[in-house]
Amino acid sequence: MTPSHDMTREGEVMYDLIRDLYPICRSITGDGVRKTLAVLRKHIPLEVHEVPSGTKVFDWTVPKEWNIRDAYVKDRKGSKVVDFGQSNLHVVNYSVPVHATVPLEELKKHLYSIPEKPALIPYRTSYYKEDWGFCLSHSALQSLSGPEYEVVIDATLKDGHLTYGEFVLPGETDEEILVSCHVCHPSLCNDNLSGIALATYLARSLQPLPRRYRYRFLFIPGTIGAITWLALHEAATARIKHGLVVACVGDGGSFTYKKSRRGNAEIDRVVEHVLRASGQPYRIREFTPYGYDERQYCSPGFNLAVGSLTRTPHGEFPEYHTSADDPSFVRPEHLAASLAMYRSVMEELEANRLYLNTNPKCEPQLGKRGMYRHAGGYGGGADRELALLWVLNLSDGTMSLLDIAEKSGLAFQVIRAAAEDLLAHGLLRPLDPQQSNSR
Amino acid sequence: MTPSHDMTREGEVMYDLIRDLYPICRSITGDGVRKTLAVLRKHIPLEVHEVPSGTKVFDWTVPKEWNIRDAYVKDRKGSKVVDFGQSNLHVVNYSVPVHATVPLEELKKHLYSIPEKPALIPYRTSYYKEDWGFCLSHSALQSLSGPEYEVVIDATLKDGHLTYGEFVLPGETDEEILVSCHVCHPSLCNDNLSGIALATYLARSLQPLPRRYRYRFLFIPGTIGAITWLALHEAATARIKHGLVVACVGDGGSFTYKKSRRGNAEIDRVVEHVLRASGQPYRIREFTPYGYDERQYCSPGFNLAVGSLTRTPHGEFPEYHTSADDPSFVRPEHLAASLAMYRSVMEELEANRLYLNTNPKCEPQLGKRGMYRHAGGYGGGADRELALLWVLNLSDGTMSLLDIAEKSGLAFQVIRAAAEDLLAHGLLRPLDPQQSNSR
Amino acid sequence: MTPSHDMTREGEVMYDLIRDLYPICRSITGDGVRKTLAVLRKHIPLEVHEVPSGTKVFDWTVPKEWNIRDAYVKDRKGSKVVDFGQSNLHVVNYSVPVHATVPLEELKKHLYSIPEKPALIPYRTSYYKEDWGFCLSHSALQSLSGPEYEVVIDATLKDGHLTYGEFVLPGETDEEILVSCHVCHPSLCNDNLSGIALATYLARSLQPLPRRYRYRFLFIPGTIGAITWLALHEAATARIKHGLVVACVGDGGSFTYKKSRRGNAEIDRVVEHVLRASGQPYRIREFTPYGYDERQYCSPGFNLAVGSLTRTPHGEFPEYHTSADDPSFVRPEHLAASLAMYRSVMEELEANRLYLNTNPKCEPQLGKRGMYRHAGGYGGGADRELALLWVLNLSDGTMSLLDIAEKSGLAFQVIRAAAEDLLAHGLLRPLDPQQSNSR
């Protein structure tokens, strides 16, 4: 399960995908998401689902579909002082259509800038209150002096659909691993074209491998998309054993894992173990009910074992939710290293099984099976031999290979190899899926 | 539930009460307790109970009633060298009557002093061995030189009653909070006129408030009083959910909380949380089976959730059990601050409920209810909004508001306000009393 | 149960026993073990058991019996350059018979030395691969220059028996304490003639004492002996409540306790408590599946509460498994102190019972029973009185005397004395064996 990957190449293709998706104006509904998913279909055969506006999804309702053609603010001379054609961040996402001439004083009530970062355009939305607005750099805002301006937002907000993408890789069992990323942000690269690209290429690279788990990749608008999917697939959530929300994986910050609400789920322990074994700096954070779609997956009625593995978390890099989160902010090599980390997590989840020692009373005679050194005398055992003893001693049906690795202090790969050796000699047998399901 | 209190005034009235009670010679039985309770009845309408001598109370028997009129030691010239009229500490409490002329050598076997504190009169008792004695300063003891002395203890020890006071404030439920103080000590202020005054004014200040809990205040002689009450009300103890033994709350030392035997009861967690939130220094001590009446409430057959909140604990201030524990040792401002601390504990117990998120699958849509900011974009949520999310996420019926405050790191008051907001919007409902009873 | 022991005398007799056993060439089977047990029978009346070669014992088979008369390597001049007569370590233990003349090159494939310790003869075995070999000092190995050598191992390896010794001291109940030591090592003193001598004299010193537990002492060849005993007495293992594997107890290193696989068994807590109370430095180690026969006792199918109390652990002293582990390496005073430590452990196991407070509601009246000071006033209680209160308060059937000692911070002996006092006054009763069995 560890073919060597051409990380340079993988980084580049993910980066190219991000560049392809960057210009599209996405939102929680509308053609931006559809175009995005169409691009992704060139990479993986995902299915596109459409859910009609007005559909009740728990406490929420699928909203109207928003589409935008053009938007600008023109001064009296006819110059566009704010132009959607330059950056789709210029329009407050989900703005209602408007065409009016308004005095500067009035206009300013609809303008958003960041005084502390005067060169950057902020990203703002108004999903759940019908309103309109423009975002612009603070320096541009300050240069406005005309008495009145023509404002145009050529958008439509009407019944339509919420669109999301889903891609499922079957496995030997019907236990699932969920990988979820939000596809609602417009021209912002780290948040979250990086997550979209990673999820796509994680799916691609798992495709040729044997898989114990079924993998479900969701490309959904944030919040309302996760709520919609959960509402429409409530029964199916019982099969989700582990999950990760992918976002902000293209910057150069160290990895950050936000635990699931359970706090000690297998996904939490595996990700922490993989990060620790990487030798690189990393951060582990407890669950909080604020963040990305883990908020929904970890709501108390679901309480799924879903964490979020990012690099620098949302809100903690200065480029966050501004026009500076552009293609220059993410790097192919960071994307590639993030993909490799996700792959290591999946590999460890696949390998982290519970076994039963078939010969639990006293040690089995490893020597007669040729598994052991011959001329002995209680000399210092090598790691491999110690690993055999640890796996035999602890495989009582309650401890997984990760538990054994942590208890023994040996590397997971050494423990795993010992388990495979013992399995091949009939000294171990996997707990059958029914039993492991009931944990 | 937080009307502003005039702490200066409260401190003064408690201090005046202490001065009123100071001269009375209390013991575990007799008129001293009756007089004390009669004074308290001017402040709160407590009930006075009388339990006959000889009543079996678990392993003990209610003892005879002791009353004293006068006591002295006279030298040959007729001068009173020790005089009960000067201080009721001069007589070993519960001394049997005596009238005799004894040589100094014999007298000294009945005299008690503190050589290390030569100016102070100690407080001594002889409840369970019939004996007599006098306490005096070590310098007075050393000045005795006459060959013989007349000793008089004009006391009676005969069948009568054990007297205690009880005051109950009804609540919405029949779950109880117990506040217990010992009333057996004679002229000693911090131990325990301070506790008596605090309990009295805590009762007064809870009277006008809405109360979820019923409050039971006990004014009882130490040890035998608690044992008697428990023996006569054994079945009622099941309703006691939380309790505090009040003593030593008038000195200037920092607060000290001695945990209940359970060690992690709600009262233990609430008191510790209130002390921590106060920003003042404090001490937390594990339960020990030595101390005041928590010894009885926390005996293994009861194991009630009763701790003890004091300032400097018994035995740890030099004035303890000496004539220096007089009105100059306690201060109105310390009494007032102690009362405020007890009130904060009760307020947090009242507020610390378990709620159920009525919409546990995904987040409810706070925006449509006007509970949330409008123009969003995953910006940093203010404490109030975070508190809404925390309360919703953790209100699964297992976590109280205090649990949520501790998990989130937010102030209890912020969490409580969020819960009230969610309750008003129907997004939360209290676990019904039956369910919360069964915890 | 604490008669004073003449430690100097005890150290000397154990040391003399080691010197008597030192010359014998032991192995996992054969006359070396029989001779060893015959010597031990002069000290304790142990039973000798013989298990035929070929007996199936779990995954293993009792091997052939090995006996050796002589062995040497001769150069062309007829000089013995390696001679079994000088040290029985010179022959790889369990070597098959050989008589041949071989060139030096070929011979060297069968020679074992320790280059880093050029003066010492190593100890090597070849139990489970039929092979032959010689061990010698590295300097002797390097001085070999002849073109060829005569090698003779006059040994037999044929069907016979595995021999072990067993000694049982009955107790009041049928709950057992197991003390196990390996008897398969040839001329090596700390590993494990020290363990054999300690087990023998521990048995002797327990013989005259009252015993709640039955004690079972096993003198068995390492690994195969423990496996054989467990296979033949599988049902009996349910009665083993506590156990220790004894080895390496004659050197001057500090005590080292390796916990049982359970990690928090009573034996683990008692040994740690006794070591801590000793005031001497000590080491506690978590269980690992590598070591002595605790590997078998703690295999997952048995998971017995068996730890191992040694001084310097196997492999961690430079003399380990070399000719330097000779009588000069172990000292009578170390043996005596080790025996005393084992005796303290057994004494605490015997005393560490669970009691029930017969009067759990409120404190019993200690005063009327003369168990308490008389003239009181909440003065500082002495340890003895505090211990009475602690034992009463915590004896609710879930806490043993060791639990109470640890919770109170008082010495085990003080707690134990308080329990005996309370027991004598009828204020405590032991949990009956059935109940304590079911823990």
- The arithmetic mean of pLDDT across residues A237-261, rounded, is 98
pLDDT score recorded for residue B382: 76
Q: What is the CA radius of gyration of chain A?
A: 26
Which residues 201-240 in chain C show a CB within 8 A of chain A?
Answer: 223, 226-227, 230-231, 234
- The yes-or-no verdict on residue A6 having pLDDT over 70 is yes
Chain B residue closest to A27 (CA)?
B377
DSSP state of B103: E
B432 versus C199: which is more confidently predicted?
C199
The tens digit of pLDDT for each residue in B102-131 reads 999 999 999 999 999 999 999 999 998 899
For residue B124, give the nearest of C362, C364, C375 by CB distance.
Answer: C375
Calculate the average pLDDT of chain A.
Answer: 94
Residue B23 touches chain A, beta carbons under 8 Å: no
- The yes-or-no verdict on residue A32 having pLDDT over 90 is yes
- The yes-or-no verdict on residue A256 having pLDDT over 90 is yes
The tens digit of pLDDT for each residue in C32-86 reads 999 999 999 999 999 999 999 999 999 999 999 999 999 999 999 999 999 999 9
- The arithmetic mean of pLDDT across residues C286-292, rounded, is 97
Residue B125 Cα, gap to closest chain C Cα (Å): 5
Interface contact C321-A396, CB threshold 8 A: no
pLDDT score recorded for residue B433: 55
pLDDT score recorded for residue B371: 87
Interface contact B302-C361, CB threshold 8 A: yes
pLDDT score recorded for residue A129: 86
Give the Cα-Cα-Cα angle B5, B276, C404 (nearest 5 degrees): 120
Q: Smallest Cα–Cα separation from B306: which of B342, B263, B248?
A: B263
Confidence of residue B49 (pLDDT cuts 50, 70, 90): very high
Confidence of residue B4 (pLDDT cuts 50, 70, 90): low
Residue C394 touches chain B, beta carbons under 8 Å: yes
B-chain residues within 8 Å CB-CB of A223? 363
- The arithmetic mean of pLDDT across residues C185-202, rounded, is 98
Interface contact C390-B289, CB threshold 8 A: yes
Interface contact A393-C234, CB threshold 8 A: no
- The yes-or-no verdict on residue B3 having pLDDT over 60 is no
- The yes-or-no verdict on residue A356 having pLDDT over 90 is yes
pLDDT score recorded for residue C231: 98
C-beta neighbour count of B312 within 10 angstroms: 21
Q: In what order do the strands lie in the sheet with B255-258?
A: B47-52, B161-169, B214-220, B176-182, B240-246, B306-310, B255-258, B282-285
SS (H, E, C) chain C: CCCCCCHHHHHHHHHHHHHHHCCCCCCCCCHHHHHHHHHHCCCCCCEEEEEECCCEECCEECCCEEEEEEEEEECCCCCEEEECCCCHHHECECCCCEEEEEEHHHHHCCEECCCCCCCCCECCECCCCCCCCEECCHHHHHHCCCCEEEEEEEEEEECCEEEEEEEEECCCCCCEEEEEEECCCCCCHHHHHHHHHHHHHHHHHHCCCCCCCEEEEEEECCCHHHHHHHHHCCHHHHHEEEEEEECCCCCCCCEEEECCCCCCCHHHHHHHHHHHHHCCCEEEECCCCCCCCHHHHCCCCCCCCEEEEECCCCCCCCCCCECCCCCCCCCHHHHHHHHHHHHHHHHHHHHCCEEEECCCCCCCCCHHHCCCCCCECCCCCCHHHHHHHHHHHHCEEEEEHHHHHHHHCCCHHHHHHHHHHHHHCCCEEECCHHHHHCC
For residue B301, give the nearest of C361, C379, C394 by CB distance.
Answer: C361
B-chain residues within 8 Å CB-CB of C365? 59-60, 128
Compute the distance between CA of residue C396 and CA of residue C359 in angstroms, rounded to an integer: 10
pLDDT score recorded for residue B129: 86
C-beta neighbour count of B415 within 10 angstroms: 28
Chain B residue closest to A228 (CA)?
B362
Percent of chain C with pLDDT over 70: 95
- The verdict on ipTM greater than 0.85 is yes
Interface contact C364-B59, CB threshold 8 A: yes
Compute the distance between CA of residue C397 and CA of residue C357 in angstroms, rounded to an integer: 8
Residue A295 touches chain B, beta carbons under 8 Å: yes
Residues 6+ away with beta carbon under 8 Å from A110? A92, A131, A132, A133, A134, A151
Interface contact B123-C377, CB threshold 8 A: yes
> How long a stretch of residues is chain B?
439
Looking only at the bridges linking them, the beta strands covering A214-220 and A240-246 are unpaired
Interface contact B363-A133, CB threshold 8 A: no
| DSSP-assigned beta bridge partners for residue B57 | B60
- The yes-or-no verdict on residue A377 having pLDDT over 90 is no
- The arithmetic mean of pLDDT across residues C413-417, rounded, is 95
Q: Smallest Cα–Cα separation from C28: which of C154, C157, C134, C199?
A: C157
Give the Cα-Cα-Cα angle B391, B397, B403 (nearest 5 degrees): 55
Confidence of residue B334 (pLDDT cuts 50, 70, 90): very high
The tens digit of pLDDT for each residue in B156-205 reads 999 999 999 999 999 999 999 999 999 999 999 999 999 999 999 999 99
Structure tokens given for C343: 């005796």
Compute the distance between CA of residue B257 and CA of residue B366 in angstroms, rounded to an integer: 40
Confidence of residue B373 (pLDDT cuts 50, 70, 90): low
Residue C124 touches chain A, beta carbons under 8 Å: yes
Residue B272 Cα, gap to closest chain A Cα (Å): 23
Which chains does chain A touch, 3 or more C-beta pairs < 8 A?
Answer: B, C
Compute the distance between CA of residue B256 and CA of residue B259 in angstroms, rounded to an integer: 10
Percent of chain C with pLDDT over 90: 92
Q: Smallest Cα–Cα separation from A66: which of A177, A156, A172?
A: A156
The tens digit of pLDDT for each residue in C123-162 reads 999 998 899 999 999 999 999 998 999 999 999 999 999 9
Chain C interface disruption, residue of A362, A368, A425, most C CBs within 10 A: A362
Chain B interface disruption, residue of C354, C366, C378, most B CBs within 10 A: C378
CA distances from A200 to A193, A197, A402, A433, B337 (A): 10, 5, 28, 29, 63
Interface contact A60-B395, CB threshold 8 A: no
Residue B382 touches chain A, beta carbons under 8 Å: no
Residues 6+ away with beta carbon under 8 Å from B328? none
- The arithmetic mean of pLDDT across residues A8-12, rounded, is 96
Contact C184, C65 (CB under 8 A): no
Interface contact B389-A290, CB threshold 8 A: yes
What phi and psi, each to the nearest 5 degrees, are found at residue C21? -85, -15
Residue A425 touches chain C, beta carbons under 8 Å: no
Asked whether the whole model's pTM tops 0.80, one would answer: yes
pLDDT score recorded for residue A381: 52
Residue C127 touches chain A, beta carbons under 8 Å: yes
User: Cα dihedral sign for C328, C332, C337, C338?
Assistant: positive
Chain B interface disruption, residue of A55, A88, A299, most B CBs within 10 A: A299
Q: What type of residue sits at position B319?
A: E
Compute the distance between CA of residue A273 and CA of residue A407 in angstroms, rounded to an integer: 12
- The arithmetic mean of pLDDT across residues A378-401, rounded, is 86
